[in-house]
Amino acid sequence: MDSQYLRVAVNGWMTGRLTSGSGQYLSHLLDWLPRVTPTVQILLLQPLHRTMTNAAPEENQRRWPQIDVVPVSLPPLPENLAKVWWEQVVAPRAAQRLGADVYFVPYWAPPVWRPLPVVVTIHDLIPLLLPAYRGRLLQRIYTQLVCWAARRATAILTVSDAAARDIVAHLRVEAARVHVVHHGPNQEGSVTVDAAHLQRVRARYALPERFFLYLGGFDVRKNVQAVIEGYARFRARGGDPAVKLVLAGALPAQDTPFFPDPRRLAQEAGCAADVHCCGWVEEEDKPALYALATAFVFPSLYEGFGMMILEAMQAGTPVITSNR
């Protein structure tokens, strides 16, 4: 490659993991970076491991033809151990071997060993700041590892001024090394939705005529219990019974304190008959889903950014959210 190009190797562990914010972030970066950075050669390092369920390298190469997808093998370790080995050894070594100028990690997992300049995106400090997310001993050790490694990174990107303040305060990083790059709404959110498409989406997800919408995860931080209890109070105080509540997103596999099942919460709140769980929503259907909603409700207890709020606003849908 000509020396005028900057060669950036990208940690591709999150490729195809669209149920996570980091996976969404990486996917949209790969969609748009080649269009706006023509002098950057992107080398997507894609791990090959027996537990990986993301798209095969050849599929990703077809999706992103302007990116060089580089398959990199991992030893047959358990997935959690394979992930750490990938982050700390395999991926940075592959970046060095490929002659990259920069190694970019799109989630909070920079390597301690830095054979070349490292740039990392830290979306939030949830495992550090929220006790319920600290996990067991090995998870806490991992968090301390990536905290230490982040302090050694060449640069840190983050997605909001609030997240930047947290990083400076809690990781003890110089503010000059933390760079805020705000999210824009996902480009799918700008698609014009006509009446026929709205009706197709309404039918596909069995949506009521009028509804409040929650879209997101169901872990305890998302505060879905407040959404359901708030809706129950709305109805108890004479709210229009024609306005239902739609909860969109992949439901928890098990009902646990960390992932409370919203169907049980609705039953306990006495409003189960008016709560519709429509399941996972495809990216191309989200603009219509927002547009159909009476209002979007998102009272999360902590977010680095809160992409869904921006997407709902872009659709012209009123937003009810928390102030922190």
pLDDT digits (tens, 9 = 90+) for 26-41: 998 999 999 888 899 9
Task: Please give the pLDDT value at position 291.
Answer: 95
Domains identified in the chain, total number:
2
| Between residues 59 and 272, the one the model is more confident about | 272
Q: Is residue 146 helix, strand or coil?
A: helix
User: Which amino acid appears at position 324 of this protein?
Assistant: R
Q: Kindly report which listed range (55-59, 88-92, 249-253, 315-319) carries the lowest average pLDDT score.
A: 55-59
Taking alpha carbons only, the member of 6, 297, 30 closest to residue 186 is: 30
DSSP 174: -
Task: Please give the pLDDT value at position 3.
Answer: 59
Answer whether residue 304 is part of any domain.
yes
Give the tokens for residue 14.
Answer: 């999150």
Answer whether residue 311 is part of any domain.
yes
Residues 165 and 195 in one domain: no
Task: Please give the pLDDT value at position 17.
Answer: 84
Which residues form the domain of 43? Answer: 6-180
- Residues 174-195 have a mean pLDDT of 81
CATH for 168: 3.40.50.2000
Using the Cα atoms of residue 81, residue 84, residue 89 and residue 92 in order, give the sign of their dihedral: positive
Residues 174 and 202 in one domain: no
Contact criterion met (CB below 8 Å) for 290 and 312: yes
- Residues 125-153 have a mean pLDDT of 94
- Residues 185-190 have a mean pLDDT of 60
Answer whether residue 280 is part of any domain.
yes
Contact criterion met (CB below 8 Å) for 95 and 104: no
Taking alpha carbons only, the member of 132, 105, 137, 140 closest to residue 25 is: 105
- Asked which of 180, 213, 248 is the last residue of a domain, the reply is 180
- Residues 227-252 have a mean pLDDT of 98
Task: Please give the pLDDT value at position 187.
Answer: 57
- Asked which of 149, 180, 211 is the last residue of a domain, the reply is 180
Answer whether residue 97 is part of any domain.
yes
Rg for the chain (alpha carbons), in Å? 21
Q: Kindly report which listed range (188-192, 258-262, 293-297) carries the lowest average pLDDT score.
A: 188-192
Task: Please give the pLDDT value at position 1.
Answer: 45
C-alpha to C-alpha distance for 79 and 73, rounded to whole angstroms: 13
Residues 78 and 206 in one domain: no
Strand order in the sheet with 319-321: 275-279, 243-248, 210-215, 295-298, 319-321
Task: Please give the pLDDT value at position 5.
Answer: 83
103-134 per-position pLDDT tens digit: 999 999 999 999 999 999 999 999 999 999 99
Q: Any alpha helices (H) in the chain, and if so which ranges?
A: 21-36, 57-63, 79-85, 91-97, 126-129, 137-152, 161-171, 195-204, 224-236, 262-269, 286-292, 307-314
- Asked which of 180, 213, 241 is the last residue of a domain, the reply is 180
Task: Please give the pLDDT value at position 76.
Answer: 86
